[in-house]
Amino acid sequence: MLGRLNHIAIAVRDVAVEAARYRDILGATVTAPQALPAHGVTVVFVELPNSKIELLEPLGEHSPIAAFLARNGEGMHHVCYEIADIFAARDQLIARGTRVLGDGTPKIGAHGKLVLFLHPKDFAGTLIELEQV
Ligand code: CO
């Protein structure tokens, strides 16, 4: 079912500060911060040869990242795997007893592609995002 690792997302308080660390200390290529109001985040991508890291800063009052930071502090937020057919995957996962977050309908995610999130309690405390590519 799973394809490539698309990205790992890390919740941070200040993307500019953390992007500068990746750039200046780790020598990574980072993008300019991009505000995505529909998703309640400002994002910076750290570009890696085989994947990317997304640094997520809360944006707006209803940001899911604000709630995460309040509960857990900064740290890994989710991992995203690529998938060929998100509707078929969703149906298989539900049949196997996995909890899909929300109403189970794939939504347009931060990259303009269909995504679903799986309950972290079903995967060792890790929030999983599936993205159709
Ligand atoms: Co993501």
The string of pLDDT tens digits covering residues 97-122 is 999 999 999 999 888 899 999 999 99
Residues with CB under 5 A from ligand 1 (ion): 9, 80, 129
Please give the distance, rounded to the nearest whole angstrom, from the Cα atom of residue 13 to the centre of ligand 1: 17
Residue pLDDT, tens place only, 63-98: 999 999 999 999 999 999 999 999 999 999 999 999
> What confidence score (pLDDT) does residue 17 get?
97
Q: Determine how β-strand 5-11 pairs with β-strand 128-132.
A: unpaired
Please give the distance, rounded to the nearest whole angstrom, from the Cα atom of residue 130 to the centre of ligand 1: 8
Domain 2-132 top-level CATH class: alpha beta
Locate the domains of the chain by residue range. 2-132
129 catalytic? Reply is: yes
Q: Dihedral through CA 37, CA 39, CA 44, CA 50, nearest 10?
A: -150
Please give the distance, rounded to the nearest whole angstrom, from the Cα atom of residue 109 to the centre of ligand 1: 8
- As a whole number of angstroms, the distance between CA 21 and CA 41 comes to 19
